[in-house]
Structure 1
Amino acid sequence: MAGEVKLSHTAALILQAIDAGYIYGFSLMETTGLPSGTVYPALRRLERDDLIRSQWERESIAEAELRPQRKYYKLTRAGKVTLEASRKRYPLLAKLISSDEVEKA
């Protein structure tokens, strides 16, 4: 059951960051302080375990901003349940990363 999944602190931190609005790889790295070699494999595992889903942004948006396309991540229902359980396991998680810090575009 998704609520019983015990995540590592790293995976829980990434779920918390996605929930707070940091929804693409580089913003997750900046926010968590984790290197790409940690973040991207964790994202793949979280997606494999159906805790997050990903979707590429439209190519035209990236081209207009003169940058590579971003892959955006979103929590699934199971991911939200698992994050709530992780917040109980890691009480400081929500204090480390909150949606108050997300840049409003």
Structure 2
Amino acid sequence: MSNTASPDPEMLRQLLEPLLEDFTYWFNRSQKLLSNERLNFLQESDQQNLLERVENALKEVAAARALFRVTGHQVGVDMMTMRPWHELLMECQAVGMRYYRNQAI
């Protein structure tokens, strides 16, 4: 979390709240796919590793959301914290696209 510039709480809420909700939504979808389906194009260990990283990211996002709320939207989330979440979401998106493409065949 970052509190260096005393940002406007309402602006932070309008920007950060939907972003954190999106991370939660997409990580939940990825978690559901990875835990309920066997993805034949991934090694089992790779699928398990990806699932563990998604579950860890879900915990991190939940903690960030809780701190954001408890501080009255007074602090943001550092970009260096969000970058790995974004990269993980892109990885999950690629896996999901490949899975759904294979289902259509």
Q: Normalised by the size of structure 2, how large is the TM-score? A: 0.26
Larger radius of gyration, structure 1 or 2?
Answer: 2
Q: Normalised by the size of structure 1, how large is the TM-score? A: 0.26
Which structure shows the higher strand fraction?
Answer: 1
Which structure shows the higher helix fraction?
Answer: 2
Q: Which has the higher contact order (CA 8 A, sep 6+)?
A: 2
